[in-house]
Amino acid sequence: MNTGNQPLRAGGLAADHEVLWVPPREAWARTRMGDYLDWVAREQGYAFADYPELWRWSVDDLPAFWASIWNYFDVPAYSQPTAILTDADRMPDARWFPGARLNYAQAVLRMPGLADGDTAVIAHSQTRRPVHYTVAELRDQVARARRGLRELGVGRGDRVAAYLPNIPETLVLMLATASLGAIFTSCPPEFGARSVIDRLGQIEPKVLVVVDGYRYGARSIDRSADVDEIRSALTGLAHLVQLPYLHPTAPPMSGASSWHELLGRAGEFTFEPVPFEHPLYVLYSSGTTGLPKPIVHGHGGILLEHLKSIALHHDLGPGDRFLWFTTTGWMMWNYLVSGLAVGSAVVLFDGDPGYPDLTGLWELAATTHTSYLGTSAPFLLACRKSGLSPKTAVDLSALRGLGSTGAPLPAAGYRWVYDEVAADIYFASISGGTDLCTAFLGGAPLLPVRAGVMACRALGADVQSIDEEGWPVLGREGELVISKPMPSMPVGLWGDVERVRYRETYFGAIPGLWRHGDWITIAEDGSCVIGGRSDATLNRGGVRLGTAEFYGVVDAMPEIRDSLVIHLSDNDSGADELILFIDLEEGRDLDLALRQRIAARLRAELSPRHVPDEIHQVPEIPRTLSGKKLEIPVKQILRGARPETVTAAGVLADAEALRPFVELRERRSGAAGSAARDHRKL
């Protein structure tokens, strides 16, 4: 396996993608990335003509680039680093900013460019009335929570857990915890007890803060029984704190104190200085293929990465309002609330974004005068399929940026944005993950937007595409790797003292390189296309088929709401089956004519190898709560695994969505040896 700086093997590039947006002439002068470029030239003597030159420097000279981020954003620190990066060539043993002592919460609550009376937090919920915090009010809330936690005995290194939705109290609790040098973690209340215990049980929190329930659309969901089960299962839990949310006038449950008691007394606005790599919070992998990994992120790495990404790539700063639809179980929540660190107000939302219809999230953006709205590819495609035109439904005059993540967005989704949201908006489809708590692919306000293409690799992220022999390639698909360290790479996995599991998880497959688990094509200009998960690849007759391009064709058909494609192969038996599952629009059924249209479309737009052997209609495509399709768990179920062994019910948007696949497996097992396959509707 080749690693390091190897010559690139170039391949043929795909046809140029349609240009949908070009940065205005004044972009350099008006964007934060342009200001940063001017600062680097003025203060450090580096002059770059364009983004590709800047990116190349940012990965070729990591110490100089990340030192510039530290200095440009004037990171508040109690002691300065003695170096920027040591052991850079020993990933994963590289060490960032040794000697530096700082605190993430202090940097966030500085909120540069904002005055005490300016808006810091706007929160809308389907459970209660909107909540607004000014800068001064947010700081006061954090100081009070900090004092309350200290009085409960919380100190440096202790864990504080939240079973809370995306509301201001969760943000306050996270910042108060971080201010003490304690470690925060969260699970959203849509997770059932088992999913929460699987996560929190690994880190043994001292304090757990919970809600009694919540509203999701028109439904009220009580979580009292789940809370009882969770606290009984958590060894070492010393304190339970309840926030009255679904039933605001009800007293706390037995043995719990109230949120109002926790914040009952004014506190000091102070912070515990901690080393750069000191644990800030624990995030969790999806748990779709086993017990969720507890991923530990550090104060300094998260702060620097989010400053760079939110300010430079999303072009956010003082005066902006930043909204990303997320829950507290998704890394995008952690990403969103860091918007405060660049001086942007953050807009929080708890509820169903599709209630009472898909206009709801757009109305929220309009009502809150949101500058930058983030959502998911499935949501944007659902809006497109429904015929929604946000620009005619609501006033989006304040909206100048739009982001999408969670899954690759096909070209048709990009075109819908520019046709139906705004013709002059800066749009970026981004890709990254919980493991780095950021996006390493996305957009830049100095680059054009092209249909179906992510404009660039992020600054400081040396993302490469490598072929089967480990050679970097351009213009053709390869395995996505990160070849140099990033500050937001995890501090480690909780309990993995010797970092054995950490090394196996990220560096075991390709020593010296971070393997992310996606296929990627990188063009000569640095733009990128994700081809789907590399561990869910369709490989027919030795030809690799990316799931993303498959979905791009199938999901674009007007009859199809959603789809899932699975490849079942067995070298011993010679089995080689491609199975397509489709969720049809209401009132549509899978008939012969539709089967033929699907096959013809795939054959014409992709290849004959993409034509499925079987097509089945299902009531719903199984997805995680963050919108990811469950390709690998479904594949394992069809091979004989029980659902509970391949995924946790609490991570699914609908646990019943797996039932049809179990039934199909049983029918296929019963029909083994028969030449005919049952193509009936599930």
Mean pLDDT of 357-371: 97
Task: Report how far apart, in Å, the C-alpha atoms of 48 and of each of 38, 253, 457, 528 are.
Answer: 9, 60, 16, 22
Largest alpha-carbon pair distance within the chain?
75
Question: Phi-psi region for residue 195, left (φ > 0), alpha (ψ -120 to 50) or beta?
Answer: alpha
Residue 435 in any domain: the answer is: no
Report DSSP letters for 657-668, one per residue: GGHHHHHHHHHH
Give the pLDDT of residue 90: 82
493 beta partners: 295
- 438-442 and 431-433: which strand pairing? antiparallel
Using pLDDT thresholds of 50, 70 and 90, give the confidence band for residue 260.
very high
Residue 655 in any domain: the answer is: yes
Q: Is the pLDDT of residue 640 over 80?
A: yes
Give the pLDDT of residue 606: 75
Give the pLDDT of residue 545: 60
Using pLDDT thresholds of 50, 70 and 90, give the confidence band for residue 13.
very low
Mean pLDDT of 357-362: 96
Residue 660 in any domain: the answer is: yes
| CB 554 within 8 Å of CB 563 | yes
Tell me the pLDDT of the chain averaged across its residues: 90
Q: Is the pLDDT of residue 87 over 60?
A: yes
Tell me the pLDDT tens digit for each residue of 544-561.
Answer: 566 777 887 898 898 999
The position carrying tokens 């807009």 is: 347
Q: Is the pLDDT of residue 675 over 60?
A: no
- As a whole-number percent, the residues of the chain with pLDDT over 90 amount to 72
Mean pLDDT of 68-94: 94
Query: Which comes out higher in pLDDT, residue 464 or 90?
Result: 464
CATH of residue 641's domain is 3.30.300.30
Using pLDDT thresholds of 50, 70 and 90, give the confidence band for residue 665.
confident
Give the pLDDT of residue 194: 85
Residue 33 in any domain: the answer is: no
Mean pLDDT of 149-167: 98
Q: Is the pLDDT of residue 474 over 90?
A: yes
Task: Report how far apart, in Å, the C-alpha atoms of 286 and of each of 196, 533, 646, 657 are.
Answer: 12, 14, 11, 17
Give the pLDDT of residue 563: 92
Tell me the pLDDT tens digit for each residue of 225-237.
Answer: 999 999 999 999 9
Give the pLDDT of residue 570: 58
Give the pLDDT of residue 532: 74
CA–CA separation, 668 and 180 (whole Å): 57
Residue 569 in any domain: the answer is: yes
Mean pLDDT of 457-486: 93
CA–CA separation, 489 and 500 (whole Å): 16
Tell me the pLDDT tens digit for each residue of 64-78.
Answer: 999 999 999 999 999
Residue 333 in any domain: the answer is: no
- As a whole-number percent, the residues of the chain with pLDDT over 70 amount to 91
Residue 493 in any domain: the answer is: no
Mean pLDDT of 556-578: 77
Residue 442 in any domain: the answer is: no
Give the pLDDT of residue 287: 64
Tell me the pLDDT tens digit for each residue of 24-64.
Answer: 999 999 999 999 999 999 999 999 999 999 999 999 999 99
For the ranges 95-104, 470-479, 632-641, the one whose mean pLDDT is highest: 95-104
Give the pLDDT of residue 91: 86
Tell me the pLDDT tens digit for each residue of 641-659.
Answer: 888 777 766 667 787 889 9
Q: What is the 3-state secondary structure (H, E, C) of 105-162?
A: HHHHHHCCCCCCCCEEEEEEECCCCCEEEEHHHHHHHHHHHHHHHHHCCCCCCCEEEE
Tell me the pLDDT tens digit for each residue of 612-636.
Answer: 889 999 999 988 776 778 888 888 8
In total, how many domains does the chain have?
Answer: 1
Report DSSP letters for 568-596, one per residue: EEETTTTEEEEEEEEEEPTT----HHHHH
Give the rounded distance of the alpha carbon of 191 from its chain centre.
Answer: 17
Query: Which comes out higher in pLDDT, residue 677 or 286?
Result: 286
Give the pLDDT of residue 115: 97
Give the domain range for residue 553. 536-670
Using pLDDT thresholds of 50, 70 and 90, give the confidence band for residue 499.
very high
Tell me the pLDDT tens digit for each residue of 279-288.
Answer: 999 999 876 5
Give the pLDDT of residue 495: 95
Tell me the pLDDT tens digit for each residue of 411-451.
Answer: 999 999 999 999 999 999 999 999 999 999 999 999 999 99
Lowest mean pLDDT among 15-19, 407-411, 502-506: 15-19
Q: Is the pLDDT of residue 5 over 60?
A: no
Using pLDDT thresholds of 50, 70 and 90, give the confidence band for residue 543.
low
Using pLDDT thresholds of 50, 70 and 90, give the confidence band for residue 3.
very low
Question: Phi-psi region for residue 466, left (φ > 0), alpha (ψ -120 to 50) or beta?
Answer: beta
Q: Is the pLDDT of residue 11 over 60?
A: no
Using pLDDT thresholds of 50, 70 and 90, give the confidence band for residue 668.
confident
pTM, to two decimals: 0.85
The position carrying tokens 């969505």 is: 657
CA–CA separation, 19 and 412 (whole Å): 13
- 19-21 and 449-450: which strand pairing? antiparallel
